[in-house]
């Protein structure tokens, strides 16, 4: 994971997401790009907006972008990262990009150029909707997404939990995250009894990972009346995990929006970083 896209805003959540991204790119001399989307004003059918209205909106959007850029550069200085184009330093570096458009569409399309998209939960409020952005990244970019919590723990990626339900999405998430799994101290494959689709079990995944040099073990959790998502998060707490891997939306997205689901619950409640892929 040498290239990371980080939608960024002038707030502490974005700053924490920057710090975590820096931990990922530093060992591999990677590149982190901060992104701010310069949106157009919303137009309601029948509204006739004056030129002054567009000008005021553009001015406000540019003001917010400038504040975000200033904080982004300050984060780079604090982390000791060069601010310049990718590949010009030979070491880890960051850059800044502003693109006109709609946030979700831009993140979904521009994110295809990166190994990982990092999104901070609740970042950019009330200017942005992080849920729209993370779902657009998952469904449109073809890349994994790292969701960061509002505050960070002391470690990252040392004690990893894989939420395994035998699905294609889970297998894809594990494949994307292999560079991080190879650096972990412990990796625990967690299956929840009665949850999942037909396919290889957790012990089989752990065997595969050990063959690749990953220190993996596996066990199955009894839900005891809990939902799969709550069971997984409880197990992360019990183990002291500092990173969770989960396939996104094994159920259809529409069904999850109506009835809820493991992905939506984890997006809302996980207190540790989560890597997801669809």
List Cα–Cα distances, 167 to 125, 171, 172, 173, 174, in angstroms. 34, 6, 9, 10, 11
How far is 277 from 62, CA to CA, in rounded Å? 32
State yes or no: pLDDT of 217 exceeds 90. Answer: yes
pLDDT in tens, 219-237: 999 999 999 999 999 999 9
pLDDT at residue 252, rounded to an integer? 55
- Mean pLDDT, the chain, whole residue set: 91
**pLDDT at residue 142 is higher than 90:** yes
Question: What confidence tens digit (pLDDT) does each residue in 176-215 have?
Answer: 999 999 999 999 999 999 999 999 999 999 999 999 999 9
- In which order are the strands placed within the sheet that holds 82-83? 82-83, 93-100, 31-38, 3-7, 116-120, 145-148, 274-277, 243-247, 159-163, 186-192, 216-221
pLDDT at 273: 98
- Tokens read off for 86: 């990718």
**Residue range 4-56, pLDDT digits in tens:** 999 999 999 999 999 999 999 999 999 999 999 998 766 555 565 566 767 88
Give the integer Cα–Cα distance in Å for 204 and 46: 59
Model confidence, pTM: 0.91
């Amino acid at each position: 994971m040498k290239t990371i896209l980080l939608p960024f805003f002038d707030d502490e959540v974005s700053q924490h997401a920057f710090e975590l991204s820096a931990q990922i790119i530093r060992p591999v001399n990677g590149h982190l790009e901060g992104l701010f989307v310069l949106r157009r004003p919303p137009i309601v059918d029948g509204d006739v907006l004056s030129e002054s209205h567009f000008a005021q909106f553009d001015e406000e959007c540019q003001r917010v972008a400038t504040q975000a850029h200033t904080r982004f550069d300050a984060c780079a200085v604090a982390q000791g990262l060069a601010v310049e184009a990718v590949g010009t330093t030979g070491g880890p570096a960051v850059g800044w990009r502003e693109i006109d458009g709609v946030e979700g569409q831009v993140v979904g399309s521009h994110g295809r150029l990166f190994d990982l998209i990092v999104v901070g939960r609740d970042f950019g409020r009330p200017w942005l909707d992080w849920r729209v952005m993370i779902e657009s990244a998952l469904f449109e970019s073809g890349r994994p997404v790292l969701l960061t919590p509002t505050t960070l723990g002391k470690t990252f990626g040392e004690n990893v939990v894989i939420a395994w339900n035998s699905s294609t999405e889970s297998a894809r998430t594990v494949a994307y995250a292999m560079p991080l799994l190879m650096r972990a101290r412990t990796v625990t494959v967690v299956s929840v009894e009665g949850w999942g689709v037909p396919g290889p079990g957790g012990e089989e995944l752990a065997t595969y990972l050990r063959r690749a040099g990953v220190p993996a073990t596996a066990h199955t959790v009894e839900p005891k009346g809990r939902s799969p998502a709550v069971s997984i998060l409880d197990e992360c707490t019990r183990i002291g995990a500092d990173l969770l891997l989960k396939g996104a939306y094994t159920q259809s997205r529409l069904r999850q929006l109506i009835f809820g689901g493991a992905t939506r619950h984890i997006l809302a409640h996980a207190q540790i970083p989560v890597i997801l892929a669809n």
